[in-house]
Every structure is written in C-alpha cells, then in structure tokens.
Chain A
Amino acid sequence: MGKPTTLFNKIWQSHLVDQQDDGTCLIYIDRHLVHEVTSPQAFEGLRMTGRQVRRPEATLAVADHNVPTTDRSKGIEDEESRIQVEALETNTKEFGVPYLAMDDIRQGIVHIVGPEQGFTLPGATIVCGDSHTSTHGAFGALAFGIGTSEVEHVLATQTLRQSPAKDMLVKVDGDLPPGTTAKDIVLAIIGKIGTAGGTGYVIEYAGEAIQNLSMEGRMTVCNMTIEAGARAGLIAPDETTFDYLKGRPAAPKGATWEAAVSYWKTLKTDEGATFDKVVEIDAATIIPQVTWGTSPENVAPITGTVPNPAEVTDAGRRVAMERALAYMGLEAGTPLTEVKIDRVFIGSCTNGRIEDLRAAASIAKGRKVAGTVNAMVVPGSGLVKEQAEEEGLDKIFIEAGFEWREPGCSMCLAMNADKLSAGERCASTSNRNFEGRQGRGGRTHLVSPEMAAASAIKGTLADPREFQ
C-alpha cells in the first residue's frame, strides 16, 4: 500500500503526462466542453497557426449564453449574439467538433448538457472556458474553468499546463433541515470561508449531508465552488453517481461499464490522507440563505437583517460593504423578509435542473405570483424542459403567473435579451450577485429555487419554510 492520498491527488496523478524540473505539470484532459462566448478566439488561433483539434470526439460544443429564451424559429435577433453563435457553428463544422444546435432537444446550458449526456464521468479531467465547469466535480471528476488561451491549448494538445492545487476538505455532517437545500449549503460555506477562501485549493466535499444529496444537489454545491475562489469542487462517486450515469448516451456500456464502476469505486480519499485545510459545518444549523450584497460571500439567513457596515472593523471590508449596500439600495437593520422584489429568475447551471423546477413548482402550485413581480422559469436544457412538461410543471408555473421559457443561460448573466433594468431587484437562483451581472444597475439576491418561488408569491424575499 502506498501513502494514503486524497481524491484530488489520485485524479491528478493519473493524468500526469509530463512534469518539468520546476514543478510545472502537463496534465491530460479527458473531456472538453465548448460554448460560443469563450471559444471564437481559440478557433481563430488554431486557424492562424494551422493547428487541428487533437481529439474532436473528446470535445462537445453547444451555444448557451447568447440564445434567446423566447420563440427561436426566427433565429437570434441581436446581431452580435447571432454572429457569435454562427461562429461556433462554423468553427465546430470546420474542425469536426460535435455540436448540439439551437434546435436540438439536447441543447442547453453546457454544464447541464454534459452530465445529462453522460459526457461527464467520474475520475475524468474536464475543462471548459467557463468558470462554472466546477459543476462536474459532483461526479468525482476534476473539472475547472479555463481562459480562452487555454481552450486553444486543450483543443490543440488535449493537455493543459498546471501546477498542483492544495487540498481542502469541507465536511458537512448532520441532517439538512426541511426547507433547506444544496444551494443553502453552498451559500453557507461561501459565507463562512469567503470568496477568496478557496483560492489555490481544490475542495472535496464530504459528510452525511453531502452524501445524502442527489446528483443534482451535488452539482449545485460543486457549481458554486468557484464562488469560494477554489479551482474545483469534488465529491467522491458512489451508488448515487452510478445510478445517475447508467444508460446515459455517452456513458460506457456493457463490460466497459462494469470495469469503469469497479475503478470508480476506488476514487475516494484514503483513510489517513491529510488535507491542507479542513472546514466543518453542521447541516442541522443551516437556515435558508439569501445574499444581501454584491459578492456571494455577502450572505445571511432569511430570518436575519441587512448587516451594518459600522460593525465591521476591517476597513477594506467596511468600504466594500458600504458600496454594496448603496448599490443594492438597502438600509442596515432591515429584516430581509421585508425587502420588496420586482423580478424572479429560476434557472441557470446552478439551479436549472428538473429537481430545481419540481421544488419551485411545489411551492408555486395553486398560488399566484404577486402582482408587482415579473417571474420567469428557464429550464437548463431542452431535455429538462421536455421532462418538466411531461410532469405538467409548465402548467403549474404558467397558472401561477410565471413565464415558461426556452433553455439557456438567460438572466444569470444577461447576455441575451433577458436582463434587469437599473434599480430592479431580483430573487435569482443563479450564482453571482456582482454589480451589473444581471443588467446594469440590477440588484441580485441569490436564493434557492424554493426561496425564489416563495419570494415570487410574497412579492418580498421570503422564507420558503412558510409554504411547506
């Protein structure tokens, strides 16, 4: 037996192609997801240097950021958006990369499509020119976002130059109370360690509360790992993982599947392995979370109040907090449940999967969206939309007064037509509450799907537990 080692280290070691004397490593990349925003310059780079895509079949492309969520039969109205999507179509065709077109039922947000198709596998290295690639870590894959130059590097070489990360363990023990979700777990973690708390680390999540999550809940947790600054999030694969993957189109079949599963079962941190940092959280203490500021670390329980900058001793943090409250138009001391909202967005790679829609629908069912609120539901993929419609969730939402849209990134980052106007306040199931993220001057409160639905009905930020 060798020295006990962490899950991250096992995956890292099994992908080392080369190691230079100065420690720089060349690691092999098993799967590469590509979208329209961060890839055109990479394909252009290949063209200019006469290089090819090394493994087109290890690459999967889909347009998600710019696609309209309304009727698509007439194409994309915005010229720049249309050009960017057309560039992806042309580039994937020229370089032989599999591409899911906008009218393909499998089209959707790249981080929802990968797992759905079984393209995401345990033990794999997965990259994409998108920070939320951390989502795929839910499968025990080492998955992280890269820049466009690195996208070009992976297209050309199927490898990346990287330095090893440090190991952090975040252990969430205990039972999650009713009405709290995977989103609340990850927001609570970010609140605890801060948006730079994970910088330089890969975070492995463990503990009962994590093991008890479904694959979709695990994806929500890993998705927002980047919001804690970590390079990637990881959850050891188990029966939940294998059950999710079995039979998916790109998952291995037959004897190869059996061989894969027996290997995947070894993908866990050995007893006695050490981490550079350990954080422990008791799930039972987590109350549904909501952000009040312009950084995901600006988070509080829904039962709380807007915090007071005067109580912060660190000058840098105090200034940032004052700026955040001014931007958000909030007064210190205001109970969060008294904060009126204008918009609700349910969707994104964080919370745009079928279980998220079911959870929101369970609260929306038989109720009405407040007259002062515009609320929309954007499924994460065409397949999620289809499933939701089979279950009648679309009807529940529409009857309650929500808009039911076509799949895409939508108002998570407002690159398409879905955006906030200046001063509009939104309860959003997305991942970033940065200034201007959902539209210039827009005010974002990050929440779970349950809290988003509850807020839509109340017209204020609301505790979803009141509706259960």
Chain B
Amino acid sequence: MEKFTTLTGVAAPMPLINIDTDMIIPKQFLKTIKRTGLGKNLFDEMRFKEDGSENPDFVLNKAAWRKAKIIVAGDNFGCGSSREHAPWALLDFGIRCVISTSFADIFYNNCFKNGILPIVLPQEDVDKLMEDAERGANATVTIDLEKQVITGPDGGEVAFEVDPFRKHCLLNGLDDIGLSLQKADRIEDFEKTRETQAPWMVPAKSA
C-alpha cells in the first residue's frame, strides 16, 4: 500500500448526499479479477453519456477538476455495496482523499486498506471546503496527515480526527495482514479454547 503523508491538490466538489458505491463504480466493472484499471470507469454513469462520450456537466469532466486528488462530498458517502472496487477506482483515477460529514462503514474501512484518507468533518467545515472546491484549479488544498490538518487555498486551517492505529498504518503504508499474523499464537490459543468450550462452532471438514 502506498504511504499517505501529505497531499496537495485540487478538490472536486460533489455536494450530492448518499453517493453510493454503485454510482462510484457500476456493477458492469466488477467483473475484473484485478485491482487496477478501474479509474477510467469511476462514476461511469454520471461521467459518460450512454454513447460513451463525456458528460460536460459532470465535475470531473470540467477542465478545473480533471486532475482532482480530493473529493468534497455530501453526507453518507460510499453507502451501499461493500465493493472495494469503489476505493480502487478512486485511487486509480488519482483521488487520495475524500472529505464528508459522514461515510458508510464498509467504504470507510476499505479506504484505509488502499492508502486513501477519508476525513469526517462537521457540516460547517465541509461547507467551507465545498466553497473552496468550487473555485477549481487555482484553489489547491493541502492535507497533512501527521499533523491532522487541512490547509485551504486561503491559508485557513481545519483540524481533523483520525484513529491512531489507522493513521500509523497510512503514514507507513503498512499491510495489516502481516501485523495480525504477528498474533498467530493468540489466534491459535483462541482456537484451542473454542474446541473445548464451543465445539459446535468447530466447522465440519466438508460443507
């Protein structure tokens, strides 16, 4: 996983609430067996018309936001399906941070596994960042994960919260399977205890 330390870029405003993972990456693109290459279909049905041409009204098709690295979105971003294809598509497009008042749980978890930082802020901060984002290419935003601060185009700062362990993993690009396997002894102990205390939970050898 790529580290996340600081990020400077243009933020795309998406003031819509309940942007679901079907919108982020529609199901016809879930047939891939790879993690990469989904960026070209990010927000496919909003970004492209039925004939495949670009929808000029969609924010990521406008000159100012074509290279956006951040999305500022309405409430409950990433609701719906658990598809990790959603953060994969965002990452592949070049989005490394999403800012909203709230995120759906599974999407939120999935972001951290892919080097994307989801930031939850109060409505008034999101409103301000949304206004900044509307200004487009001349209005870059900087996110410093170590300091937990967003610096807006006018130099204004907004602090944000992040779980310390997740922050540590993002800053260092850590694979948490490796970390969990360091607890293999404890996992084994747990399984042994269950064999005697909850034998019904020990699965039969065939389905």
Contacts and interface: CB of A to CB of B under 8 A. Distances in A.
A434 B17 contact: no
A17 B190 contact: yes
A184 B207 CA distance: 34
Interface in B96-150: 102-106, 109-110, 113-114
A436 B26 contact: yes
A244 to B, nearest CB: 15
B55 to A, nearest CB: 13
B128 to A, nearest CB: 15
A183 interface: no
Nearest to A162: B109
B75 A147 contact: no
A455 interface: no
Interface in A229-279: 229, 231, 249-250, 252, 256-257, 259-260, 263
Question: Size band of the A side of the interface?
Answer: 35 or more
B177 A98 contact: no
A414 B176 CA distance: 33
A31 B203 contact: yes
Interface in A193-208: 195-196, 199-200
Given A31-B203, A159-B180, A161-B176, A196 B79 contact: yes
Contact of A414 (B27, B84, B186, B201): B27
A98 B206 contact: yes
A308 B127 CA distance: 26
Contact of B204 (A124, A250, A319): A250
Contact of B27 (A58, A260, A413): A413
A434 B200 contact: no
A292 interface: no
Interface of B: 15-18, 20, 22-23, 26-28, 30-35, 45, 50, 74-76, 79-84, 87, 102-106, 109-110, 113-114, 163-165, 176-177, 180-181, 183-184, 186-187, 190-191, 194, 198-201, 203-207
Interface of A: 17-18, 20, 22, 24, 26, 28, 30-31, 37-38, 40-41, 44-45, 49, 51, 54-55, 57-58, 60, 65-66, 78, 80-81, 83-84, 87, 98, 100, 106, 117, 119, 121, 123-124, 129-131, 133, 144-150, 152-153, 156-159, 161, 163, 195-196, 199-200, 229, 231, 249-250, 252, 256-257, 259-260, 263, 295, 316-317, 319-320, 323, 413-415, 422, 432, 434-437, 440-441
